[in-house]
Amino acid sequence: MVEHRMIDVNGVRLHIAEHGEGPLVVLLHGFPESWHSWHHQFGPLADAGFRVVAPDQRGYGRSDRPDDVNAYTILHLVGDVVALIHALGEEKAYVVGHDWGAPVAWHTALLRPDVVLGVAGLSVPPPFRGTQLPLAAMDERFDGRFYWNYFNRPGVADAEFGKETRTTLRKFFYALSGDAPGAGEGYQPLVDPEQGWLAGMPDPEVLPEWLTENDLDVLTESFSQGFTGALNWYRNIDRNWELTAPWHGAVVTPPALYIYGDRDAVPAFPGTPELIERLPDIMPNLLRKPLELTGCGHWTQQERPAEVNTALIEFLRACSSSTQAT
């Protein structure tokens, strides 16, 4: 049974869900999600002999949501993960992330390889720092309509998404899934600043099989205090670029796994398909070629739980065998 509790780490209080015994696996959700994003993974990973912990990351769910926008940099988020591992009584852990949780996982492995036994990212590939501020680059490429730029307008997306929270989440999860019309056909998440993002998103009459009304209940409750804490992650994108300057050109060295869907918009971002092609050459410890899931959209571990669980368990066991061998 999954158990829940609060734990103090890195100056904030995080809500965590945990299940199982064995080597620690930390699962990091993305936007707009919560610990519940991993509900298909708890049982299989625990049955495979691992201790599974999924936090609501800072700004989400029942966890603290600092008022200061500057409290959501990648260094704060990595600090939360490292402190969580140690607060759980471990020196090292496996770290797995999806969507925004993937950059946190990748950067935890990049900045603190001494605490990461292995790292897996879903949807978002490993970070390779560009040569210019990200928001300016996207503003120039998409004339200010890229969703990162929209999210950086103070209070705007917060108000749009918070007006009807359940509808917002239903639209997000359907529109970015592999079930949505046109998914995987070169879609870029562009927003009309005057109309907002939701206006252009389809609202399904019937939910996909992988998304239930109970899932929406849990998600809606997790955003009962609004979206500002979650959106503050995006409001640090440029600051993250500045803060990570010392790691420019560095690569993730712990054993790694990357999984993505062929109908996910994120792997189609400018420059990302080329990066994915090069990963086996530039990632020294990528344990297998990137795993592409046919017909899968953005919500990787929810749309394709069986395939993701199989890949994760194989990866974790391979890492464990390698660790024991050394």
What are the tens digits of pLDDT across the range 178-224?
999 877 666 778 999 889 999 989 999 999 999 999 999 999 999 99
Whole-structure pTM over 0.75, yes or no? yes
Q: Please report, to the nearest 10 degrees, the dihedral formed by the alpha carbons of residues 68, 70, 71, 73 taken in order.
A: 160
What pLDDT, in 10s, does the model give residues 102-152? Answer: 999 999 999 999 999 999 999 999 988 888 899 999 999 999 999 999 999
- Look up residue 262 and give its amino acid: D
The number of domains in the chain is: 1
User: Is the confidence at residue 229, as pLDDT, over 80?
Assistant: yes
Mean pLDDT of the region 245-272: 93
Task: Give the percent of the chain with pLDDT over 70.
Answer: 98
Q: Give the count of beta carbons closer than 10 Å to the beta carbon of residue 322.
A: 14
- pLDDT band for position 326 (cuts 50, 70, 90): low
Mean pLDDT of the region 35-54: 98
d(CA 80, CA 82) in angstroms, rounded, equals 6
Which residue range is the domain that position 266 belongs to? 3-325
Strand order in the sheet with 256-261: 3-9, 12-19, 51-55, 24-28, 93-98, 116-122, 256-261, 291-293
CATH of the domain at 45: 3.40.50.1820
Average pLDDT, the chain: 95
- The residues assigned a catalytic role are 99, 298
